[in-house]
Amino acid sequence: GSAQIGVIGMAVMGSNLARNFANHGYRTAIYNRTWAKTEAVAKDHPEANFIASEDLGEFVDSLEKPRRIVIMVKAGAGTDATIDALIPLLEPGDIVVDGGNAFFQDTRRREEKLRAHDLHFVGAGISGGETGALEGPSIMPGGSPHSYEYVGKMLEDISAKVDGPNGEEPCCTYIGTDGAGHFVKMVHNGIEYADMQFIGEAYDLLKGAGLSAAEAADVFAQWNTGDLDSYLIEITSEVLRQTDAETGKPLVDVIVDAAGMKGTGTWTVQEALNLGVPAAAIAEAVFARAASSSPELRKAAEAALTGPDGVVEVEDRAAFVEDVRQALWASKVIAYAQGLHLIKVAAKDYGWDIDVAAVARIWRAGCIIRAKLLDRIANEYAAGNLETLLEAPSIASGLAESNPAWRRVVAKATLAGVPIPGFSSALSYYDLVRAPRTNAALTQGLRDFFGSHTYRRVDKEGTFHTVWSGDRSEVNAEDTH
Ligand code: NBP
């Protein structure tokens, strides 16, 4: 065979990724379960000079050895079916890359399975949607370092690029073994959920203060020139500016207010729960989508409950808009801190050697959460071994500066009845993790009362229990058990 890379799955992502490889001078083979799609892609893009195969065996034979194959099919059963069909056709040393949105535990399982056949498996998270796939996505590959040697350069070539101190840097770097890449992609999506929730809350507040959709669009466009400069803020201004052709209303007012989701945000929160990592702001974003898509709950509650109507009393509109900007920035930082903390804890638990600074670096372009802030985050993680992003000097000082505005916004929204689960959860996290003492002491007292769960003391070593049902004396729990 003469193809340097093969792509399986000719839906929107796979076909664009295949064109991206071809655009970078790689001879590219393509295959899809349904031949008509492969045929159409080859016909529509003669410039790519694809080697198109109707038969999977032919496709495999069209590849140079060791064979490099990227799977871009519907995640889950589609990926397993494709892998199972490939295994008997491949030879030891061949490399399979899964670029779909796989659950990282599936990636770990598949990596082990292919390793048993002496095949390399790289689970690569890919972000950037269809445009990214064609023009340069952010790529988060996981697998053995040896496997990465075979495909790393190709993936880096087709990835998005950012200008760094050493020239153009690819938004693709080796993340870690087995499921590490898909884990990082999953957390990327969790942060994306939070980012979007915060943007929605900011818009609700601007609306509550009397701004029209078009005025809010201007505000977001203005914010995009500063510290909040990011893809999502940029496209928010575009979506808010869109007028519905049919009704003449802002499009946002005719879109049904029920958010969809495909599962990666939920996975992020489930993993945070599994690992005991507080990622509440990300969780609130997932729950907010769930609430939006619960018509029965909303209908019953809307009929039964009263409260303020979401109108925010504002004396100085410009000052309020600036407050909202700062609340949005601070909340966004919290979501990044929670997501990156989750990656750090998971790395320890799953035995991945993840460079968090490098993760932030490859999120600077190509992916949905790309943002100017990530430059700073990458530099901060590179400068010191951070337990949490929040302790980084420039981040802590930024949060200190935005503190008064953040609190005013949360207070104002609460009084006005504007739901801000994201902003308020992020602010509570800030107050919780910086508190010298938390209410968990009382929790421990209660647990000891009803379940003899014992507690530790601040002033001496050991485990203690109070005899609540007796004379209420304290006993050393180790003696009684
Ligand atoms: P889809 O997720 O819509 O999947 C369609 C592709 O999967 C087609 O090629 C289809 O073949 C193939 N397929 C299915 Br369905 N079941 C199969 C099976 N049992 N065996 C073999 N092939 C099967 O495509 P997509 O939107 O291009 O996404 C591809 C991957 O990239 C997914 O994992 C997705 O989560 C991920 N992703 C998507 C985006 C995005 O913005 N869309 C972004 C990042 C990552 P057929 O033509 O024969 O039905």
The tens digit of pLDDT for each residue in 385-434 reads 899 999 999 999 999 999 999 999 999 999 999 999 999 999 999 999 99
Residue of the CA atom closest to atom 1 of ligand 1: 74
Q: Which helix (H) or strand (E) holds 340?
A: helix 317-350
Q: Residue 275 Cα, ligand 1 centroid: separation in angstroms?
A: 30
Residue 2 annotated in ligand binding: no
Query: How much is the ipTM here?
Result: 0.98
At residue 480, the pLDDT reads 53
Residue of the CA atom closest to atom 35 of ligand 1: 101
At residue 166, the pLDDT reads 80
What span, in angstroms and rounded, lies between the C-alpha atoms of 211 and 234?
Answer: 18
Q: Hey, CA dihedral for 470, 473, 477, 479, is it positive or negative?
A: negative
Cβ neighbours for 280, distance < 8 A, ≥ 6 positions apart: 338, 425, 428, 429
Contact 278, 344 (CB under 8 A): no
The answer to whether the CB of 34 is under 6 A from ligand 1 is yes
Instruction: Enter the DSSP assignment of 311.
Output: P
The alpha carbon torsion through 133, 138, 142, 143 (nearest 10 deg) reads 50
Written as one letter, the residue type at 11 is A
Which of 8, 13, 184 is the pocket-test mutation for ligand 1 (most atoms within 8 Å of CB)?
A: 13
Q: Residue 8 Cα, ligand 1 centroid: separation in angstroms?
A: 9
Centre a 10 Å sphere on the Cβ of residue 305 and count the other Cβ atoms it contains. Answer: 7
What span, in angstroms and rounded, lies between the C-alpha atoms of 240 and 222?
Answer: 13
Q: Per the structure block, which two tokens stand in for 190?
A: 């969790």
Backbone angles phi, psi at 169, to 5 degrees: -110, 135
Catalytic center residues? 185, 192
Contact 56, 111 (CB under 8 A): no
The answer to whether the CB of 282 is under 6 A from ligand 1 is no
306: Cα separation from own chain's centroid: 35
Residue 262 annotated in ligand binding: yes
Q: Residue 101 Cα, ligand 1 centroid: separation in angstroms?
A: 9
Residue of the CA atom closest to atom 7 of ligand 1: 73
Written as one letter, the residue type at 424 is S
Residue of the CA atom closest to atom 11 of ligand 1: 33
What span, in angstroms and rounded, lies between the C-alpha atoms of 152 and 147?
Answer: 8
Residue 481 annotated in ligand binding: no
At residue 298, the pLDDT reads 98
Residue 161 annotated in ligand binding: no
The answer to whether the CB of 81 is under 6 A from ligand 1 is yes
State the 10-residue block means of pLDDT for the chain, 481 residues long.
96 98 98 98 98 98 98 97 98 98 98 98 97 98 96 98 89 98 98 98 98 98 97 98 98 97 95 98 98 98 98 97 98 98 98 97 96 96 95 97 98 98 98 98 98 97 97 88 50
The answer to whether the CB of 73 is under 6 A from ligand 1 is yes
